[in-house]
Amino acid sequence: MKILYGVQGTGHGHISRAIELLPLLSSDAEIDVLISGHNHQMYLQGYNTIKKQGISLLYNSKGAVSLFETARNIRPLTFIQDVHNLKLKEYNLVISDYEPVTSWAALTSGTTCIGLSHQAAFLSDKSPRPEKKSILAEQVLKHFAPCSKAIGFHFRRYDKFIEPPIIRSRVQSLSPVTGDTITVYLPAFDYQTLSAIFHQIKDIRWEIFSPLCSSEYRHGNVTIRPVGNESFLKSLETCFGVLTSSGFETCSEAMFLGKKLAVIPIGNQYEQQCNAAALAEIGIRTINKWGNDTIVQLRNWIRNDPVIHLPELADAKSITEKLIRFARRNENQILNR
């Protein structure tokens, strides 16, 4: 039995989920992995990895999606060729964690594709949306990586096919303590812009993790560090608060560890606006944009807001067993033709 697992390489959440699920799946099936997107050059060790350019969102220094840069970097002919050239006959099942090459190749060839992602949760109208819905963005969410069946992940079980978050084993093994720092992960923002704001709240120590920083340095009450898995996890383990964009995985991990959480959704990123709406419903402070009252909001958050915990975690073993059942069903159908 053979499975093709497509992973969106933009954002660490898709990769983190694959790292948890692939070992469980590989005990029953042979796995190939296709990675596309911004980090399509990376490999998942121990698996045959196919690399494609795919489609990625690009950001400006002010924390918003750059529509111009995103459009400029799309290669439609390359994408169409990648979809056309991906042969799926040898696979019993295609899984797509919001990865468009595998999804569209499955759709055009009539192969069963399971959408396994946070984005799949938005196939349900019951998942929270911002007050102002975007018709265009809703269509992108639904058609960027189409699927035959969906298993979505969200902060709550908003619908029958939606599971709670998968928290990576490395995070579950941490021993969280309440320290005196705030961990900041706002990768779409320029760290100098952030640093200038945090200098105005001098009684708090801030640790900024930025993909634009090449070496660690400290300026007053602000430390800027390159993004690194172990250093970020150590900061997450020992901080008392997390300020981040409204990405699903980091927010889930912060709540799991019992950290005070506030979010600043990335501009022009509809999925993040949806996440922010869901987080606001459960009591998480959402700062929609930098403004004159941002410092006041941050101080109120630090002093007054409660810690919100995740009510439950997904059962990764149960999810992989469901996926294997789909694959076996397809295998039997192929053998009986």
Cα distance between residue 14 and residue 16, in whole Å: 5
**Helix residue spans in the chain (DSSP H):** 12-26, 67-72, 76-85, 100-109, 135-143, 169-172, 191-198, 229-238, 248-256, 270-281, 294-304, 316-335
Which pLDDT belongs to residue 335? 44
For residue 62, pLDDT beyond 70: no
In a domain, 287, yes or no: yes
Same domain for 320 and 278, yes or no, is no
In a domain, 78, yes or no: yes
In a domain, 79, yes or no: yes
- Least confident range from 107-111, 129-133, 226-230, 242-246: namely 226-230
Q: Are 79 and 14 in contact (CB under 8 A)?
A: no
In a domain, 92, yes or no: yes
Same domain for 296 and 328, yes or no, is no
Q: Are 238 and 177 in contact (CB under 8 A)?
A: yes
Q: Are 61 and 193 in contact (CB under 8 A)?
A: yes
Tell me the percentage of the chain whose pLDDT exceeds 90.
68
Q: How many domains does the chain have?
A: 2
Which pLDDT belongs to residue 52? 86
Cα distance between residue 259 and residue 183, in whole Å: 10
In a domain, 309, yes or no: no
For residue 203, pLDDT beyond 50: yes
Place of tokens 């309440």: 178
Same domain for 180 and 157, yes or no, is no
Res. 65 pLDDT band, cuts 50 70 90 = low
Same domain for 15 and 155, yes or no, is yes
Res. 328 pLDDT band, cuts 50 70 90 = confident
Per-residue CA distances from 205 to 235, 240, 241 (Å):
12, 10, 11
Same domain for 263 and 328, yes or no, is no
Res. 72 pLDDT band, cuts 50 70 90 = low
Same domain for 147 and 182, yes or no, is no
Tell me the percentage of the chain whose pLDDT exceeds 70.
90
- Pick 42 or 316 by higher pLDDT: 316
Q: Could you read off the pLDDT of 210-260 as tens digits, one per residue? A: 988 888 999 899 999 998 889 999 999 999 999 999 999 999 999 999 999
For residue 48, pLDDT beyond 90: no
**pTM (two decimals):** 0.90
In a domain, 115, yes or no: yes
3-state secondary structure of 326: helix
- Pick 200 or 11 by higher pLDDT: 200
| CATH number assigned to the domain comprising residue 284 | 3.40.50.2000
For residue 336, pLDDT beyond 50: no
Q: What is the mean pLDDT of residues 110-120?
A: 95
For residue 40, pLDDT beyond 60: no
In a domain, 23, yes or no: yes
Same domain for 104 and 61, yes or no, is yes
In a domain, 103, yes or no: yes
- Pick 267 or 98 by higher pLDDT: 98
Same domain for 326 and 247, yes or no, is no
Q: What is the mean pLDDT of residues 287-311?
A: 91
Cα distance between residue 175 and residue 233, in whole Å: 11
Same domain for 20 and 130, yes or no, is yes
Same domain for 133 and 155, yes or no, is yes
Which pLDDT belongs to residue 3? 95
Which pLDDT belongs to residue 119? 95
Tell me which residue of 87, 109, 108, 113 sits closest to 6, measured CA to CA.
Answer: 113
Q: Are 334 and 324 in contact (CB under 8 A)?
A: no
The strand order across the sheet containing 30-36 reads: 48-51, 30-36, 2-8, 93-97, 113-117, 149-153, 162-163
- Pick 290 or 176 by higher pLDDT: 176
Domain that holds residue 205: 169-304
Same domain for 12 and 24, yes or no, is yes
What does the longest C-alpha to C-alpha distance in the chain come to? 70
Q: Could you read off the pLDDT of 253-292 as tens digits, one per residue? A: 999 999 999 999 988 889 999 999 999 999 999 998 777 7
Place of tokens 């250093």: 231
Same domain for 69 and 199, yes or no, is no
Sign of CA dihedral 40, 279, 152, 70: negative
Res. 337 pLDDT band, cuts 50 70 90 = very low
Q: What is the mean pLDDT of residues 150-163?
A: 97
Which pLDDT belongs to residue 214? 85
Q: Indicate the Cα dihedral angle 204, 190, 259, 125, nearest 10°.
A: 140
- Residues in Cβ contact with 336 at an 8 Å cutoff, skipping those fewer than 6 apart: none
Query: Across the chain, what does the average pLDDT equal?
Result: 89
For residue 63, pLDDT beyond 50: no
Cα distance between residue 277 and residue 330, in whole Å: 38
For residue 45, pLDDT beyond 50: yes
Place of tokens 């959402």: 286
